[in-house]
Chain A
Amino acid sequence: MATTDAHRLALQSFLSRGVMSTSEVKELHKKACQTFNVNFENTMECLRNFLEKINENISSVGMEIRSKKDEETGKLMFALVMTNESQLGRLSSDYQKNDLELFKKILDLIVEAESGCVSSTDVLNLASHLKEKMSKQDAQNILSRLIKENWLTESQGEISLAPRAIMELEHYLTDVYEEDIRHCHLCKEIAIKGQWCPCGLKLHIFCAARLFRGKDDCRCPGCKDVWEFEIPSDDRATNSASNKDTANSATTGRKRKDRL
């Protein structure tokens, strides 16, 4: 498949939006192909080929469209990232030096927290610990911006790393934090948020759901102790590997009650 204006426009869209959900990407793919009369099929395979073509074109300039599941919802997200491991990737050029200092301290907190979440109050208190002190209001503004631009997510006062940040900063995180960055025992991907056992084993929420599906007696795969967390229901649509999804499978939401 040769590169067409559909590919180019989709790429420009990624440049301007940064991160998109699977349904947004599908919509983009469809519109781009239809606008430029490019052969289009409403299948994941067609979409995958489309994205691979774009990646082929941009790999030499150190960019890539990546996908990763949102650690909270399990939904697959797509982001355009810089692959050349420059410290904080895209953030380095979009934010000022002092803002980045704050962000790095937020990262410290998040990585340190087993749950991968920190309270917004703790974040704001960081303002006074910076080399160049900033006011709480400034910190609040930066925090709001980070959330708005999809680097962090906020839910009920708890701040965590958004999929876009994990995709963009994966190298940085493993470089800087080394063993403090855990990986999911099941899928082997980086796991900031999730469930864990005191023995050190960690699982994504949706990986735990898959691992323990249908089991009455849930035990840690490592140390065999009882798994202390509540197992969420395994939502097939969000958990299956992205490539097998067809365009029409909607995420059905958690209608079934939790098993435990």
Chain B
Amino acid sequence: MKFLDPASMGAAILLLRLSTSLIIVTTMPRVPASSQRQSQKSQARKGRPRNVVDAAASSDSDDDYFQVNGTQAASQSQTQSMTQAEKAAAKLTPELIERKVGELVQYLLIMEQRKIPVRRGDITKNILKEYRTILPHVLERAKRKLKSAFGLELVEILHKTGKTTIKMYILLNKIDAEKQGVFLDSSRDDPKVGLLITVLSIIFMSGGAVNEPVLWHTLKKLGIKQDEKNHEVFGDVKKLLTSEFASKQMYLDYSRIPNTDPAAYQFKWGIRAQTECTKRKVLDFVCQMYGNDMDVKTWKEQYREVLQSESTGDNDEDNSESSEKDESSDESD
């Protein structure tokens, strides 16, 4: 790939903090194991497995409900004739719903710190459990709260694996990227982000997909080798790209090229990159690397793609203004 000047790209990886939009709220080192949140009140557990956030405290609200509605006996016979869903809905008090919203917000924030997208199924399994009927409601409230209090936008992503499509959620920072500056402690992740943006650039400049050997060949010029397992900054580089950036965090899409034997793979932009990173930012980055105040329009094909993506509203930039108007009226949640 001739468009990249190795020397300046090398400097970029080490120094450049361009991708503020990619660093939302990241500090904690990424723990590979799944999150194991302990249940709320150890006393009220009643033999449920101690797994993630438990609705253990719901037992309190059950009692409240029954007391409000007459004798225990009468309520019991009533519930016996209701369906499961009705029973679940009947136990819902505003307090319980509010608590679930809180748990969901916390869960989303924590997963976002590790850049792991949250599956809709995980929300049901870990947070809502038997209250899954209220998922849309809880999700909507969580979304509003995240925006009004945190300035984070909950984005739904459709992830296609083979024949199935699953819904996943990530959080985007809606606060002006330039203004984030020094507030967020992302020093720990800078080099990785630099590498990521480099790879995204290579993919973009190659027309949206790059074959694996070509990518490695380019990276090699920047001093990064495919079989490097102990790079002082990146560790196992191949694993970083194919496993962490690709499968886990979904910044990259590492997939097999169909009908190739032996199997050949290619890299494309992953869902998260498509949602978080704009093509314009990447093209700006590339031009900065070339230096000499290179203009983005030099790259005709790529620039055309940038304009196209902006006009069709691929990015959230167009939506941000209208959504800001909602925030001021939405204080109570």
Contact = CB atoms under 8 A, between A and B. Distances in A.
A85 B41 contact: yes
Given A2-B328, A92-B38, A95-B31, A8 B183 contact: no
Contact of A60 (B101, B151, B173, B176): B101
B183 A12 contact: yes
B102 A60 contact: yes
B98 A92 contact: no
Interface in A28-75: 28, 31-32, 35-36, 54, 57-58, 60-63
Interface in A117-167: 145, 149
Interface in B298-315: none
Question: For the side of the interface on B, what is the size category?
Answer: 35 or more
B41 A60 contact: no
B179 A9 contact: yes
B102 A13 contact: no
A217 interface: no
Given A9-B179, A60-B102, A62-B106, A16 B149 contact: no
B183 A28 contact: yes
B28 A149 contact: yes
Contacts of B35: 92-93
B67 interface: no
B151 A16 contact: no
B31 A94 contact: yes
Contacts of A9: 151, 175, 179-180, 183
B118 interface: no
Given A5-B175, A8-B175, A86 B185 contact: no
A216 B103 CA distance: 54
Contacts of A62: 99, 102-103, 106
Nearest to A63: B106
B53 interface: yes
Contacts of A28: 183
Contacts of A15: 25, 109, 113, 150
B151 A12 contact: yes
A86 B37 contact: yes
Interface in B151-195: 151-152, 173, 175-176, 179-186
B33 interface: yes
A86 B38 contact: yes
B278 interface: no
Contacts of A149: 28
B101 A61 contact: yes
A86 B27 contact: no
A35 B183 CA distance: 11
B46 to A, nearest CB: 16
A126 B191 CA distance: 36
A84 B41 CA distance: 9
A243 interface: no
B232 interface: no
A31 B183 contact: yes
A82 B106 contact: yes
B53 A36 contact: no
Given A12-B25, A17-B27, A84 B182 contact: no
A38 to B, nearest CB: 12
A87 interface: yes
B101 A12 contact: no
Contacts of A63: 102, 106
A137 B25 CA distance: 30
B105 to A, nearest CB: 4
Contacts of A96: 31, 33, 36
A17 B106 CA distance: 16
B321 interface: no
Contact of B106 (A61, A88, A94): A61
**Which of A32, A35, A86, A149 has the most chain B CB atoms closer than 10 A to its own CB?**
A86
Contacts of B182: 31
A61 B145 contact: yes
A149 B140 CA distance: 33
A144 to B, nearest CB: 12
B321 to A, nearest CB: 14
Nearest to B29: A145
B148 A17 contact: no
Contacts of B293: none
B40 interface: yes
B100 to A, nearest CB: 10
18 contacts: A3-B331, A8-B150, A11-B151, A12-B175, A13-B184, A15-B25, A16-B27, A16-B113, A16-B186, A28-B183, A54-B149, A57-B149, A60-B101, A84-B40, A86-B53, A93-B35, A93-B36, A175-B42
Given A15-B25, A16-B186, 4 more contacts: A3-B149, A5-B175, A58-B149, A87-B38
